[in-house]
A and B are shown apart, each in its own frame.
Chain A
Amino acid sequence: MPTSSSASTPAATANRPEFLISYLKSEQQGEVKLKTLREVKNQIIGNRTKKISYIKLGAVPKIVEILASAHDSDLSILVQSAATIGSFACGVDAGVKAVLDSGAFPHLIRLLSHSDDKVVDAGARSLKMIFQSKLAPKYDFHKDENMTFLLSLLNSENENVTELGASIITHSCETSGEQKALCEAGTLRRLVMLLEGSLNQREASLDSLAAIIKNNPEVISKFVGLDSGRALKSVTELMKDRYPRTRLLASVCLIVIGRTSPCYLQDIGLRTKLIMLLIELLEEPGRVGDEVPFALAGLIADNEDLQKLAFEVNALDKLCNFLHRDMILAKQLEGLLLAIAELCSRLEICRERFLSLQALKLVTSTLTHDCAEVRTAACICMQSVTRSVKNLSAGHFLTDTMVTPLVQLLHGPPISLQVAALKTISNVVVNFTNRKSIFIQCGGLKELVQLSKSMDSTLRLNSVWALRNLMFLTENSNKERILLELTASTLTSLICDPEPFVQEQALALVRNLVDGGINSIEHVFIEGGVVVNAVGRQVRSASKSEVCIQGMYVFSNISTGSELHKEAVMHQLLPEADGGAQSVIMKFLQCSDNQLRVATIWCVVNLTYPGSPGSSARVTRLRDYGIISQVKSMVNDPCLDAKVVIVHVLKSIHHSSCIISVLRTIIQHVVLQFRVKTVLEQCTVFSDAAA
């Protein structure tokens, strides 16, 4: 073993932050000050912990003061203080805040017009660091003098200064107004020129180009038209650059263009190349590898064609392979999970492949990752995968190993994670096997009920949604347990929630509760019928048709029950005294919402079902309110003719993915017509009997 040396030298103590900071007082001699500055700078560069301890000791304002009071000829002091300030602003939010709070900004800007290149470099680098942080102030492009200044930066001979200009754009350009202003000021042309510059300029320029054109078709078409298409061509060429980061940034630019103006990303060859490139870049270490999966997710989001293409070039296998690796950093893992989520969001073939690769286990294990972003991404990924109806209905997802960590996540925070977990749970608990009790037993039900009382409406919405799915086609014993945990009074207040989307889910929950025979229906009549009364109140007063639809289905299900149940529905839907008041049934039959008309007709069908002794009396009452004649008039309603509907809907088809919704509309219309006929037939039975 090497011989041991003496204890820490005096020099080691002299280098302690507490000690050094006393030398930063501005009355110190220039030499000492400079030496101390350098020492502090060298200690903090690359070292987060040191930065934080210096920030806590209040070093930043002291250094800013040195910069502010330094004379223009104190080159070393200017350079060293600016560099130290820049390092404080690099990678540590508290540092950026301290730098901004101590008013460093104008002093750093002042350095940009210094005659010495090294001073300009130092100032520009530090400002660049500040603008790379989210905390940096937004730059107002609408002020003329600001735009002039920005252009002077972009046109500078100094590389660091041009990069600063590009960073300002990347950081601050958000609205379409800002994008337009930058475009009109001619920044696009200058940035495209910088693509020919050095590596650093090229990357800074690609970054800010993406910011200027993002989601803005007008600016995109300007960009594409620049120099008769040469700008777009240069970016496309950069996909083949030797530097991985340049290749990534060029792809991101093309992705941004393709998402907003798909016409420029039609070429199947280019699309394939883009996907292949991103997959290849996954292997890159560091920032590139971390950011690639996010770019890939962005490219294929909401685009089935691209998802299919990505699947065909084995993207899913490659992404899943990464999950098997050890020591994968949080950022990249988050991106990988999100990319897999996008791939599996629509295509069943992807979900099948995902499951056959045994990747579900790996994703499940990331549900307990240290980093909240990774846990959220894992939830989103599982949400996509659990859309597989085949596997869902077989109960493949409702296992202890999967449900337990999901339920743990419901404790939160953050809310975004809780919401993601709720959405996944909503999928998982829809199944037709009797395994729902697994979820209830591991404490999931308790958590859902707890969240349904949350102050946050998104949490209420998603927890009620999950409860609704848990209630779906489950056995009566489970229904009892759910209701016992939830209580009639909580359910009532959810039905009357201030948010219509919560009301809708609460009513859908009740609809599932009362679906399944007399025993199930009885549940809404407990405690003096608070639940059924609340449903009635909502149906009579709600303005959103989504809420009324679910309410009408509740009544439709209840009216499959006993004579008492049917009468209760009549009581809720027809005004007691016939003082000329219109029934809600009438109102809904005349409304323009197809789904609401269907739900209402269903209800009338069940109320007038001939097997019940009181049906004849109910038909009479419905007739008194003009409801039967309204139904009759609907038979001849031309807009209900299936053929007409089909022709009408076919006209509006532009896109293959519309087919599903087209079919749904057609089926709705056919069902509606069919139901109308059933009602009339049933009514005829009674008229005949009466006659």
Chain B
Amino acid sequence: MSLFRIFISQLAEIENMSTSKKVITREEWEKKLNEVKIRKEDMNKLVMNFLVTEGYVEAAERFKMESGTEHIDLATITDRMAVKKAVQCGNVEDAIEKVNDLNPEILDTNPQLFFHLQQQRLIELIRNGKVEEALEFAQEELAPRGEENQSFLEELERTVALLAFEDVNNCPVGELLDISQRLKTASEVNAAILTSQSHEKDPKLPSLLKMLIWAQNQLDEKAAYPRINDLSTAVLEDPAV
């Protein structure tokens, strides 16, 4: 975070100096960057945070051995990933059972997530052509949720509409059958499990990069300086003067 603070203070400094764009050479820039100290442990924690949140169990384990960075119980990541994977593969019932084993509170206190999982189950039944089962399921399990909440009812209606079309892939609600719907549901479950474990649902690294881009954009208005355009290589590119 100190990198960000330096950016901001430089920003203020430049703002005070003049209205015309200041040019900062690569030399000056690198000198300034060298003055910024970042602790190795902080870097490691960021990496670990990313691995754990995104669910890279093995990588996290190896990283722990190599760097000695602490993390939450790895078993919980494995469980969480199993749930996520089950939803991604369309085994929603299996996913629900796994979540309930992990912590029964998650679905009991999160009606929206529970509804979305049940909705996904319905979608899978329709995808597999189990029409009668789908109807029965919608009636038994989903209709009562719709009575409790108006927005659920609307979503339910949209989902059941899938049954009305010959060619589901070209119908107005066809996107429900898309793989992206599974991914959406999967990431919702993933986030809920993370929250229940008092863990943040998003890794910190992407927001740090967002801040970098934001700060660069701010600085662009005041100065020309070596910029990072490609985040994956993080190469400093010479200012266009």
Contact = CB atoms under 8 A, between A and B. Distances in A.
A420 B111 CA distance: 32
Contact of B108 (A12, A38, A45, A329): A45
B130 A90 contact: no
Given A38-B97, A46-B108, A125 B198 contact: no
Given A2-B126, A90-B105, A90-B108, A8 B114 contact: no
9 contacts: A5-B133, A41-B104, A46-B108, A47-B141, A91-B108, A91-B109, A125-B103, A199-B198, A200-B196
Interface in A45-95: 45-49, 83, 86-87, 90-91
Nearest to A6: B132
A327 B114 CA distance: 19
A29 interface: no
Interface residues of A, number: 35
Interface in B102-129: 103-105, 107-112, 114, 126-129
Contact of A7 (B107, B111, B128, B132): B132
A45 B198 contact: no
Contact of A2 (B108, B129, B148, B195): B129
B92 to A, nearest CB: 12
A70 B129 CA distance: 43
Interface string A4-32: 11111100100000000000000000000
A558 to B, nearest CB: 58
Given A4-B132, A286-B112, A327 B150 contact: yes
A559 interface: no
Nearest to B131: A4
Contacts of B149: 329
A3 B108 contact: no
B87 interface: no
A42 interface: yes
B111 A8 contact: no
B168 A2 contact: yes
A689 interface: no
Interface of A: 1-9, 12, 38, 41-42, 45-49, 83, 86-87, 90-91, 125, 129, 159, 198-201, 242, 285-286, 327, 329
Contacts of A83: 100, 104
A5 B130 CA distance: 5
A536 B96 CA distance: 75
Contacts of A7: 132
Contacts of A285: 112
Given A9-B133, A125-B104, A327-B150, 4 more contacts: A5-B132, A7-B132, A90-B109, A285-B112
B66 interface: no
B163 interface: yes
B119 to A, nearest CB: 12
Contacts of A201: 198
B104 A86 contact: yes
Contacts of A329: 149
B108 A4 contact: no
Contacts of B136: 8, 12
B114 A46 contact: yes
Interface string B189-226: 00000011010100000000000000000000000000
Contacts of A199: 195, 198
A91 B111 CA distance: 11
A5 B131 contact: yes
A160 B114 CA distance: 22
A198 to B, nearest CB: 3
Nearest to A326: B150
**Chain B interface category by residue count:** 35 or more
A609 B126 CA distance: 92
B5 to A, nearest CB: 17
B107 A48 contact: no
A6 B96 CA distance: 25
Interface string B148-164: 11110000000000011
B60 to A, nearest CB: 19
Nearest to A86: B104
Most chain A beta carbons < 10 A, residue from B104, B136, B164, B196: B104
B144 interface: yes
Nearest to B196: A200
Nearest to A125: B105
A47 B198 CA distance: 25
A198 B199 CA distance: 8
B166 interface: yes
B103 A48 contact: no
A41 B104 CA distance: 9
A141 B85 CA distance: 47
B148 A48 contact: yes
B198 A46 contact: no
Most chain A beta carbons < 10 A, residue from B105, B144, B149, B196: B105
Most chain B beta carbons < 10 A, residue from A46, A242, A286: A46
A51 B240 CA distance: 67
B145 to A, nearest CB: 8
Contacts of B165: 1
Contact of B104 (A1, A87, A200): A87
A252 B129 CA distance: 51
A353 B149 CA distance: 32
Contacts of A41: 100, 104
Nearest to B168: A2
Most chain B beta carbons < 10 A, residue from A1, A159, A285, A286: A1
Q: Which 8 interchain pairs have the tightest Cβ spacing?
A: A198-B198, A46-B114, A199-B198, A2-B129, A46-B107, A4-B131, A49-B144, A5-B130
B104 A48 contact: no
B198 A1 contact: no
A119 to B, nearest CB: 13
A45 B107 contact: yes
Contacts of A6: 132
Interface in B26-64: none
B111 to A, nearest CB: 7
Given A41-B104, A125-B104, A3 B129 contact: yes
Nearest to B99: A45
A71 B198 CA distance: 32
A8 B163 contact: no
B141 to A, nearest CB: 7
Nearest to B127: A2
A528 B141 CA distance: 70
A198 B150 CA distance: 34
Given A7-B132, A87-B104, A327-B151, A1 B141 contact: no
